Each structure stands twice: as C-alpha cells, then as structure tokens.
Amino acid sequence: MDTPDGKKSPALSPLAELVVARFEQKETPNHEHKISVNPVVAKFATWYEKFRNAMEYREDEVILRAAIERILRRRLLLGGNGKTAAEPLVREIIWARYLPDNHVPESAVIKVEETINLYLALRLKILAEHRIAQMVVDEWTYQLMSSEIENILHPNIEKETLANFMFQILKESVQITDDTEETRNAQVYMAVRKAFARDDIAFLRFHLYKLFFGPLTKETIGSIAKGFLEGYREIERELHYPRREKIYAYVKKRAASFFILEDILRAHKAEIRMFLSDSDVVENAVLEDCEVRYKGIASKVRRAIVRSVLFILLTKVIFAFAIEGTYERIFYGGIQWGSIVLNTSIPPILMIVVSLFIRTPDQENARRILSAIKEVLYSENPRLGAPLFVKKARDTKQPIMQAVFTILWLLAFVLSFGGITYILTRFGFNPVSQFIFIFFLAIVSFLSYRISLVANLYRVGERQGLMTPVVDFLFMPIVRVGQRLTQGISQINFLLFIFDFIIETPFKIIFGFFEQWFRFLHDKREEIG
C-alpha cells in the first residue's frame, strides 16, 4: 500500500493487524434508557468518595473495583442478594461519578444482579465442597465479584486488546530455564497485567481464575466449585512464584512504549489504518504524545503527593499520637511537643524534597519509545531488547557469594536504622518517639518511592547515577520496611471499618432519600406543566 505522497508504507505485522482489526470494530449504538442520578446528590457523594479514598493508597486504575467491593460488602453483610444490592450499587457508583451520568444502560443492573447471585451461590457450594477457611472464600468471592461487575459496567476492550498484544510480544523474550512453558506464560501474563493494566491482587486473581475455570454460569457453577481448591492452590502458587519480581521488572521497563501506543491508537481510531500506513505521521504522533505525557508528569506527582500526605494523616497520625502522647504523659508528666512537631512535619517535607529531585524523561527517551513502537507494529518477530533468562531455583553454585550478599543486606538494615536511632537519641527523643519517627519515615519513604515510579512511568530503561548504589544500599531497607508496614496496617485499619460500616451506611441512606425526594419534586413540577 502506498501513501498519498507516493511513498511505500510499512506493512503491519500479523499481531498488529489483529490489534487494528479490534480497534476498527464499531460499537453498536445502545438506544436503551440510561440510568440518571440527581446532580446535587452526586456532588456530595463525590466529595465523600474523594475523602474516603484518601484513607487508602491505591492506583487510579483499581479505585472503581475497590469501591464496588466496598459497597458489596456493606450491602451483603446482613444477608442481601443480587435483587436488593444490584440497583443501589450501580446508583452509588454513578453518584460518586466513577461512571458518567446517563451512560450505564438499565439492562446492566440485571447483569449485575445475576453476577451477584451466581458468586453468592458459588461461595456456598465451595464452603460445602471443601475445607477452606470462610475468611479466604469470602475474600475471593468479593474480589472476583467486584472485578466481574467492573467489567460489566466499565468494559475496556482496547486496553485488554493491547495487554494481550504486549503479552504475545514479550512472552518469547522471557525464559525460565528450569520450569515449564505454562508457568512462564502465567508469569509474563501477570507481569503485563501489573505493569500495563495496573492490576491489583484482586484483578490478578480474577484474570487467572478466568483462565483456569472460564466464565461462571449456572451450567458451570458446579464444576467450578468442585475444582476450586485445585484452582485456588495453582493461582496462589503463581501469585507467589519466587522469580515473579524479576520478570515483572523486565516487563515494566518495556511498558512505556505500550502506554504511548495506546494513546495514539485511541486518538486516531477513526482512521487507524490510514494513520499507521504513514511512518512519518506515526513518528510525529508518538513524539508529540511523549511531550504531552512528560508535561503531565508534574501534575501526576503533585496529586500523588497530596494523596500520600492525606493517606498518612487520616490513617496513621491519630493512632500514633495517641500512643506517643499517652507514653509521654505517664513517664514525662507532659507531651514533648518538639518530637511531635518533627514527627508531623517530616512526611510533607520529605514528599516535597522527593518532588524536587524528579526529572522528566528527555527527547532521547521519546526516540527509544518510537523505535520500540515501530518494532512492535511492523516487525514480523518483534524483540524489545535482550531476552531475560531466569531460574526458579536459587543459585547454589556460589554459596559464599550468597552469604556475603545476605550479610551486606543485613548490614544495610543495621546502618540505616541504627544511624537514624543514634541521631534521634542525640536529639533527646524517647524510645516511643523514636519508634513513631521511624514508623513514619519508613511509610513515607515507601510512598516517596512509589511517587518516583509514577514519574518514571514513561521512561524506557533505567537511569543509573554514580550515587545510585550508595543510595540503594542505605535507602532500600527503609523502603522495604515501609512497604510491609503500609500493606500490613491497611489490613487492620479500624478507621476504615468505622467509615465503611458505621458512617457510610447512614450517609448513603440520606443520599438515597434526597434523590428520591428530588425526583418526586421533579415529577410534581412536570404535572403542573
């Protein structure tokens, strides 16, 4: 095929042809009546959701699923079912503007109702068939159910298409030399889901469950329940695979090109084949989109900083201050405000310092992205850099070297936390104040590291400086502890429990009452007309 100016256009690869064919498919117009909510109620519900979400640190891509799970838990807690929970759930999602008004068709409520009832029935069958802790079955039920419902209410076909495209390209570049091809495929698939689709653990379980069992229907519910224990063990084995982080790191370094590819394909969806037939047009589009994305990094970082500070203030400060204040009143006769002020001011100061050191990628990075996009679109056998070879088993050929690395890693912990403790002691911090300081520092360090990952989302490859190994040696132990604290404490966040089951229920009842009242007034006004 030739372009209008007579140049020979590049031919798309077979895989790219499948992607283009999917993007070319026209959506069937849905003239069914859509669900609408009162804008005043929606305004207050949106404010509430923003405040509530600040108590958890989640990626933007999984907030909707998490909200669906939270609403399901609240509405099914006292014996609800699909009929009682489906419509209120959909309306709550639209209230909070997770989905736009007049966008969700009424038939979606029926699908949500059927999905809820199917998963509740599956839960009962699993508990009857297997000796699995009810807490585990409940967790899986709500995670699978909420993921399925998000796919019903907010399908993202283009994203799924590109995720599968990325998987097909990268799976041959990863080799696990002492394990099966099926394990390799599962690990690359999960790495793509995490790096590109930004899935959390619930979505990962859902996608692996779908691959293992297929769709849940009235006909398959019995067989799925019977084989659930085997599937559960296999999925958990894949989720905790010893080399998963190595494979994820490899895949993540190649995700930037697919983010930009997604942007340009969506932007030129109406004339996608003509657009891709001209390599010069594709080049200009890629470089322009990179520039736009680079400029948006600053706002993403600011938003991440605000969310991180709110997350700390709303979930940790009250609890920590209660411990520190009580200890100081008992043993010192009063609160030592100096240490409390320092413990309070360190999180935002550290966040600001981190933001000052963040640098956007350069033009050379955009050129690397362009090269990778051309490779995946036009090459018969695309390869994005050198392949990855890993072994499941630990290398036992160099036990002395492994022992040395372990000792150095432990030394890094001693130097990092020992140095902090020594400095705090010199400043007169008591043991509890030191614990609170290190507690906050670890969490903030982890969140700061996450913010730096946001800033490097569109960077291809790694940028290593002269001081990087030194910083990693002293900083990574604190980040790892902060990761464990953030993940562990989020599981026992009593403030979230209070909000979800004590405060949120009456709030949503009030929202529902006012929406019905406003609808009643609207009907009365129309009767006059």
For residue 337, the model assigns a pLDDT of 62
What is the distance between the alpha carbons of residues 276 and 283, in angstroms, rounded to a whole number? 10
Write down the pTM of the prediction: 0.81
What is the distance between the alpha carbons of residues 166 and 470, in angstroms, rounded to a whole number? 34
Count helices and strands (H / E) in the chain: 23, 2
For residue 93, the model assigns a pLDDT of 92
With cut-offs at 50, 70 and 90, classify the pLDDT of residue 408: confident
Polymer length in residues for the chain = 529
Question: In degrees to the nearest 10, what's the CA dihedral of 46, 49, 51, 54?
Answer: -130
DSSP 143-198: HHHHHHHHHHHS--HHHHHHHHHHHHHHGGGEEETTS-HHHHHHHHHHHHHHHTS-
Mean local confidence (pLDDT), 459-475: 67
Burial (CB count within 10 angstroms: exposed 0-12, middle 13-18, buried 19+), residue 276: buried
Structure tokens at 501: 């089951």
With cut-offs at 50, 70 and 90, classify the pLDDT of residue 479: confident
How far is residue 14 from each of residues 17, 251, 390, measured CA to CA in Å? 5, 22, 29
CA torsion sign, 497 to 503 to 506 to 509? negative
What is the distance between the alpha carbons of residues 346 and 430, in angstroms, rounded to a whole number? 17
Mean local confidence (pLDDT), 84-97: 91
What is the distance between the alpha carbons of residues 209 and 216, in angstroms, rounded to a whole number? 10
> Of 347, 319, 312, 332, nearest to 428 (Cα)?
332
For residue 322, the model assigns a pLDDT of 67
pLDDT higher at 326 or 409: 409
**Identity of the residue numbered 117:** N
Check whether 490 has a pLDDT greater than 60: no
Mean local confidence (pLDDT), 429-457: 77
Structure tokens at 142: 């709500």
Check whether 3 has a pLDDT greater than 60: no
The count of other CB atoms within 10 Å of the CB of residue 287 is 16
Tokens 């043993």 found at: 331
CB 212, CB 232: distance < 8 Å = no
With cut-offs at 50, 70 and 90, classify the pLDDT of residue 248: very high
* Per-residue pLDDT tens over the stretch 122-170: 999 999 999 899 999 999 999 999 999 999 999 988 999 999 999 999 9
**Identity of the residue numbered 339:** S
For residue 151, the model assigns a pLDDT of 94
Mean local confidence (pLDDT), 206-234: 94
* Per-residue pLDDT tens over the stretch 223-241: 999 999 999 999 999 999 9
Mean local confidence (pLDDT), 29-34: 79
What is the distance between the alpha carbons of residues 231 and 21, in angstroms, rounded to a whole number? 33
* Per-residue pLDDT tens over the stretch 70-86: 999 988 987 889 999 99
Tokens 């006012």 found at: 514
Q: How far is CA 386 from the centre of its chain?
A: 27
For residue 434, the model assigns a pLDDT of 78
Q: Which residues on neighbouring strands pair with residue 174, listed in sequence order?
A: 388
Check whether 89 has a pLDDT greater than 90: yes
For residue 478, the model assigns a pLDDT of 81
For residue 142, the model assigns a pLDDT of 96
Mean of all residue pLDDT scores within the chain? 82
pLDDT higher at 316 or 428: 428
Q: Give the strand pairing for 388-390 and 174-176.
A: parallel
For residue 426, the model assigns a pLDDT of 82
What is the distance between the alpha carbons of residues 504 and 50, in angstroms, rounded to a whole number? 13
**Identity of the residue numbered 375:** E
Mean local confidence (pLDDT), 482-494: 65
CA torsion sign, 266 to 267 to 270 to 272? negative
* Per-residue pLDDT tens over the stretch 298-307: 777 777 777 7
For residue 31, the model assigns a pLDDT of 75
**Identity of the residue numbered 207:** H
CB 61, CB 457: distance < 8 Å = no
CB 493, CB 55: distance < 8 Å = yes
